[in-house]
């Protein structure tokens, strides 16, 4: 394995700096939200991680199709990397959302469309890794992984729409006409700066982690092949 | 109406949230570093094994002649 | 490889009519084989049926199914029962193929792989529907609710198609893993949530006598899910059984 490319090293450092700036903007620069207080500040990281994780999951579904057509293990490694990083980010999203919901909605969890879909999505991709763990042959592991990521990636948005459709027919306890009661709020200009910067920062951090994870996958592949060669 | 109610102090939740976010990210980076280190170790061991196997083979051939 | 070439040339020269004829012949061969084997042993069917009845029994204690709550939870109890019993059947049906080497035999046969998929879907669906048809009157008698409504039966059919369509694909994968005894429900349940959701909504709509316009939405969702996922499974099934 060659040493880290210089671009990646730079990206590592840039990601750390961006994370620092984004934290500063979220915790200090943005004004305190009047109704909810300081807890609203988790919103910036919440959205940042959610956006990148969803992009990662969509990317993984695309890699599924590409792998099933091209049958090149490279695409499988891209997919695993995308799903793993997204899974970590989405975990942060869910936990932050739950922490925010406690003072805002007075409950850690409600079964509303987004929360439920988030939990189901997280479970789908955990199942994805459990499936892969049970298979030794790399080609079969890649094929099954691609099939499951495709099925899961199609099912998650349908789950979301299904829950939303049925919950709009039967009104939910939370979220009447009043947006404030729902925990919604109007963003000031400073909040918007922190918001968009968090989106940008997490996109860069995601790319950086993703790149590192792909390199790890490549290394793993190399070790596995050498292992085969030595044992033969 | 909302302006009259004092802003609640929810900083405890905020701190907990950011702590969890940073800890999770740190743990993930650490796990990647750990996995990478283990793989590099495996790689060097395997490369040595491969090398010694090839040397043995070569030596075997020479003595056979 | 040579066999593949032979197969493609064969299908190219064969006219369209006999090709679809061959496909249906292969599908019905798979279905027939499954049904015959099951008719002789009855192990899958009896396990699914007894398991379903036990689940209903457990729900009786867990939920205190008195007359009032019965109305609202019947649909949920039924679908939870079908879902659990369904995994049992799907797992077993694929495991038999794997253990007896039937799958390898089928793969060697010069038929389209998707014929195997449709054959397994139809036989799995048949087992599931038979179990459901027995569970429904038993539930009706035990809890004194009339479950024999045309609409409800349609919902059960559509829901079972979606469940089995995805379940057959995923069970074909899960039986080829090391953790095959426990993996199927973990893979299947998170992706069939739309089916269960829509089926429960539509079923309870019929049971509580809701207006048809309210039931139409979950029904449409069930149909859409069935079509999308059977189409996807049909396209990717090759990758799941390739050796």
Shortest distance between the Cα of A169 and any Cα of chain B, in A, equals 30
Shortest distance between the Cα of B42 and any Cα of chain A, in A, equals 7
pLDDT at C20: 77
Question: Picking from A30-34, A52-56, C51-55, C119-123, which range would have the lowest pLDDT averaged per residue?
Answer: A30-34
Give the chain A residue nearest C178 (alpha carbons): A134
Which tokens is C125 given?
A: 């669906």
Quick count: other Cβ atoms within 10 Å of Cβ B63?
7
- C interface with A, Cβ–Cβ < 8 A, is 166, 169-170, 173-174, 176-180, 183, 186-187, 190-194, 197-198, 201, 214, 217-218, 221, 224-225, 228-229, 232-233, 236, 239-240, 242
- Of B2, B18, B39, nearest to A223 by CB-CB distance is B39
3-class secondary-structure state, position A53: helix
C-beta of residue A180 within 8 angstroms of C-beta of residue B5: no
C-beta of residue B7 within 8 angstroms of C-beta of residue A37: yes
Helix (H) or strand (E) holding A44: helix A42-70
C-beta of residue C190 within 8 angstroms of C-beta of residue A127: yes
pLDDT at C1: 41
Asked whether residue C224 carries a pLDDT value surpassing 90, the answer given is: yes
Q: C-chain residues within 8 Å CB-CB of A168? A: none
pLDDT at B4: 56
Question: Picking from A29-33, A141-145, B37-41, which range would have the lowest pLDDT averaged per residue?
Answer: A29-33
Which DSSP symbol is given to A25?
Answer: I
Q: A-chain residues within 8 Å CB-CB of C228? A: 154, 158
Q: A-chain residues within 8 Å CB-CB of C221? A: 158, 162, 165
Whether residue A229 and residue B50 make contact (CB cut-off 8 A), yes or no, is yes
Domain ranges of chain C: 23-241
Whether residue C236 and residue A123 make contact (CB cut-off 8 A), yes or no, is no
Side-chain-side CA neighbours of residue A97 (13 Å): 20
Higher pLDDT, C241 or C79: C79
pLDDT at A183: 56
C-beta of residue A99 within 8 angstroms of C-beta of residue B17: yes
Rounded average pLDDT over A205-228: 91
Quick count: other Cβ atoms within 10 Å of Cβ A61?
20
Whether residue A35 and residue B7 make contact (CB cut-off 8 A), yes or no, is yes
The tens digit of pLDDT for each residue in C129-157 reads: 999 999 999 988 888 888 888 889 999 99
For chain B, how many helices (H) and strands (E)?
1, 0
pLDDT band at A170 (very low <50, low <70, confident <90, very high): very low
Interface of A with C in 96-125 (CB under 8 A): 120, 123-124
Mean pLDDT of chain A: 86
Asked whether residue C11 carries a pLDDT value surpassing 70, the answer given is: no
Residue with tokens 């918001």: A195
- Of A135, A136, A162, nearest to C194 by CB-CB distance is A162
ipTM score over 0.90, yes or no = no
Asked whether residue A182 carries a pLDDT value surpassing 70, the answer given is: no
Higher pLDDT, A33 or C37: C37
pLDDT at A2: 56
pLDDT band at A185 (very low <50, low <70, confident <90, very high): low
Which tokens is C12 given?
A: 């190219």
pLDDT at A186: 67
Higher pLDDT, A72 or C2: A72
Rounded average pLDDT over C9-27: 65
Rounded average pLDDT over A194-205: 92
Rounded average pLDDT over A124-151: 93
pLDDT band at A167 (very low <50, low <70, confident <90, very high): low
3-class secondary-structure state, position C109: coil
Q: Pick from A64, A35, A44: which is nearest to A180 by CA?
A: A35
* C-alpha–C-alpha distance, residues C19 and B61, integer Å: 59
Residue with tokens 């048949």: C126
pLDDT band at C12 (very low <50, low <70, confident <90, very high): very low
* C-alpha–C-alpha distance, residues A73 and A90, integer Å: 25
The CA distances from residue C82 to A151, C88, C123, C200, in Å, are 21, 10, 16, 11
Q: A-chain residues within 8 Å CB-CB of B9? A: 37-38
Q: A-chain residues within 8 Å CB-CB of B49? A: 230
Which DSSP symbol is given to C14?
Answer: S
* C-alpha–C-alpha distance, residues C219 and A58, integer Å: 27
Tell me, yes or no, if B18 comes closer than 8 A to chain A by beta carbon: yes
Question: Picking from C81-95, C186-200, C207-221, which range would have the lowest pLDDT averaged per residue?
Answer: C207-221
Asked whether residue A42 carries a pLDDT value surpassing 90, the answer given is: no
C-beta of residue A138 within 8 angstroms of C-beta of residue A87: no
Q: C-chain residues within 8 Å CB-CB of A153? A: none
Long-range interactions of C90-93: CB distance < 8 A, separation 24+: C90/C124, C90/C164, C90/C167, C90/C168, C90/C170, C90/C171, C90/C184, C90/C188, C91/C171, C91/C174, C91/C175, C91/C180, C91/C181, C91/C184, C92/C43, C92/C44, C92/C47, C93/C34, C93/C44, C93/C120, C93/C123, C93/C124, C93/C127, C93/C171
C-beta of residue C79 within 8 angstroms of C-beta of residue C113: no
Tell me, yes or no, if A20 comes closer than 8 A to chain B by beta carbon: no
Asked whether residue B57 carries a pLDDT value surpassing 50, the answer given is: yes
Whether residue C218 and residue A166 make contact (CB cut-off 8 A), yes or no, is yes
Asked whether residue A115 carries a pLDDT value surpassing 80, the answer given is: yes
């Amino acid at each position: 394995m060659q040493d880290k490319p210089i671009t990646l090293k730079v990206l590592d450092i840039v990601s750390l700096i961006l994370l620092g700036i984004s934290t500063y903007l979220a915790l200090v620069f943005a004004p305190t939200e009047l109704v909810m207080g300081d807890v609203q500040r988790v919103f910036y990281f919440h959205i940042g991680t959610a956006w990148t994780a969803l992009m990662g999951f969509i990317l993984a579904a695309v890699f599924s199709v590409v792998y099933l057509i091209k049958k090149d293990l490279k695409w499988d490694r891209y997919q695993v990397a995308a799903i793993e990083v997204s899974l970590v980010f989405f975990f942060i999203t869910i936990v932050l959302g739950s922490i925010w919901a406690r003072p805002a909605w007075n409950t850690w969890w409600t079964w509303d469309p987004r929360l439920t879909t988030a939990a189901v999505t997280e479970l789908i991709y955990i199942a994805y890794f459990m499936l892969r763990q049970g298979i030794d042959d790399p080609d079969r592991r890649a094929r099954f992984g691609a099939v499951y990521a495709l099925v899961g990636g199609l099912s998650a948005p349908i789950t979301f729409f299904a829950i939303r459709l049925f919950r709009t027919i039967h009104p939910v306890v939370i979220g009447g006409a009043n947006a404030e009661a729902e925990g919604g709020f109007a963003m000031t200009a400073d909040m918007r700066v922190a918001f968009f910067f968090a989106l940008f920062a997490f996109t860069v951090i995601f790319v950086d982690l993703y790149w590192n994870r792909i390199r790890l996958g490549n290394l793993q592949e190399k070790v596995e092949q050498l292992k085969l060669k030595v044992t033969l | 109406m909302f302006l009259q109610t004092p802003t609640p102090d929810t900083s405890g939740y905020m701190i907990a949230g950011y702590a969890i976010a940073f800890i999770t990210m740190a743990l993930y980076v650490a796990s990647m570093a750990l996995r990478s280190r283990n793989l590099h170790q495996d790689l060097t061991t395997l490369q040595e094994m491969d090398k010694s196997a090839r040397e043995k083979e070569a030596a075997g051939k020479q003595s056979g002649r | 490889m040579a066999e593949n070439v032979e197969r493609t040339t064969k299908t190219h020269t064969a006219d369209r009519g006999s090709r679809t004829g061959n496909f249906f012949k292969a599908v019905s061969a798979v279905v027939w084989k499954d049904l015959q084997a099951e008719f002789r042993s009855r192990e899958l069917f009896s396990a699914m049926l007894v398991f379903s009845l036990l689940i209903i029994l457990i729900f009786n204690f867990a939920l205190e199914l008195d007359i009032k709550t019965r109305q609202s939870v019947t649909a949920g109890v039924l679908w939870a029962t079908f879902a659990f019993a369904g995994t049992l059947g799907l797992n077993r049906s694929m495991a038999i193929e794997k253990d007896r080497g039937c799958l390898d035999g089928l793969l060697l046969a010069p038929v389209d792989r998707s014929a195997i998929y449709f054959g397994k879907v139809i036989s799995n669906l048949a087992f599931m529907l038979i179990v459901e048809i027995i569970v429904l009157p038993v539930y009706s008698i035990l809890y004194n609710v009339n479950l024999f409504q045309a609409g409800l039966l349609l919902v059960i059919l559509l829901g079972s198609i979606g469940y089995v369509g995805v379940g057959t694909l995923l069970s074909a994968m899960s039986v080829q893993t090391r953790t095959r005894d426990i993996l199927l429900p973990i893979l299947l349940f998170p992706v069939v949530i739309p089916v269960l959701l829509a089926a429960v909504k539509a079923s309870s709509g019929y049971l509580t006598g809701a207006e048809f316009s309210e039931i139409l939405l979950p029904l449409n969702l069930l149909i859409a899910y069935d079509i999308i996922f059977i189409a996807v499974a049909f396209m990717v099934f090759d990758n799941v059984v390739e050796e």
